[in-house]
Homo-oligomer: A and B are copies of this chain.
Amino acid sequence: MTMVSMHTAVAEQVVDAIRSVVGPGPVTLHEPSFAGNEWEYVKECLDSTFVSSVGKFVNRFEVELADFTGANHAIAVVNGTAALHVALKLAGVKAHEEVLVPALTFVATANAVTYCGAMPHFVDSEARTLGVDATQLRDYLARQTEQRSGHCVNRSTGRVIRALVPMHTFGHPVDLEGLLAVARDFNLVLVEDAAESLGSYYHSQHTGTFGLMGTLSFNGNKTITTGGGGALLTNDGELARHAKHLTTTAKLPHAWEYRHDEIGYNYRMPNLNAALGCAQLEELPLILAGKRELFQRYSAAFASVEGVTLMAEPKQCQSNYWLQALMLDAEQANQRDRILEQANAAGFMTRPVWVLMHELPPFSECPRMELTCAQLLSQSLINIPSNVRGVI
């Protein structure tokens, strides 16, 4: 067999495996599943005329979200980016500081850091979890930083590194035990970007509830959606009160007076979107079961495709399997674009992982550690159709 025909074979095998699971295309990468009370709750919301920043659904959504995740408090906001912005502010991130974020993430993680006037500092990931590599990070911080008055300071830039923001890629939990220890040992605040991991558990505890705060997203492409939406999770009552205050323009309670005691944000989730969210939360267990079933079906289909591994949840973790991902072996990595082209041409929407943050123009000058693994992952990951419709 020539090289060309072997390469063709791999791409074709991937397309065939996808087709064997999801049927003939076209199939999207991910779309919402509205099979429950969505219409009923949204109509009830419209009928009440309370569609905006006040209403029973937004309060109920927060209570039910706290209940589902086991967090003491949940604060519903307009989207995951807004949640991260406020979480970082509450973590004490100030202008001219640095925040450790993975190079392998969606751009919102890095953007939120800049909204605080701070600078992202990019760290490497590990193939096992697709998230921040705790061991490499520990070694790097030991070399690169020093403690001054209880603050972690970057020796090269002289800036305080305030926080560490791991992200649970595609719903797979990061090494929280390792990262919590790094955060403790280097005086960093840990904030979890759990935008992709609603329904994912690390050692039986829900992701987003380990750090000082965690953030969720309910964008249209997520496991459940509110149209646009996000939330902050925290176990700290005072932080929760402050998060609610900051996300509702920092207005002090009063029957008629408009007095605000700090610079706040118009980040409250509208009641209309929360109505959709309440219905979606009811379906979440079924959706999660469907995503797990889809993983099993893909597992069987890809078992015989050489050079391609389906991403499985890390040990002692339960992933929500938000986006199913293939990892190409090193010798197949140069076939990534061919696979993407053939799969998309065949009507199966697939995509590579995000361009690494330090390769984007706005972040090219930000500090970073060696990103060996992230670079390898960025060349070898492919997301494949992950809808639960037809599965559940």
Contacts and interface: CB of A to CB of B under 8 A. Distances in A.
Contacts of A223: none
Contacts of A276: 46, 51, 272
A198 B376 CA distance: 52
Interface stretch (A36-44, A164-172, A199-207): A36-44
A268 interface: yes
Interface in A334-368: 340, 344, 350-355, 360-362
Given A114-B263, A261-B360, A53 B351 contact: no
A108 B355 contact: no
B54 A46 contact: no
Contacts of A38: 46
Interface in A252-272: 255-266, 268-272
Contacts of A34: 46, 49
Contacts of A31: 49
Interface in A52-70: 52-54
A111 B361 contact: no
A211 to B, nearest CB: 21
A111 B264 contact: yes
A263 B111 contact: yes
A228 interface: yes
Given A42-B46, A249-B107, A262 B117 contact: no
Nearest to A51: B227
Interface of A: 31-32, 34, 38-39, 42-43, 46, 49-54, 78-82, 106-108, 111, 114-115, 117, 219-221, 225, 227-228, 249-251, 255-266, 268-273, 276, 340, 344, 350-355, 360-362
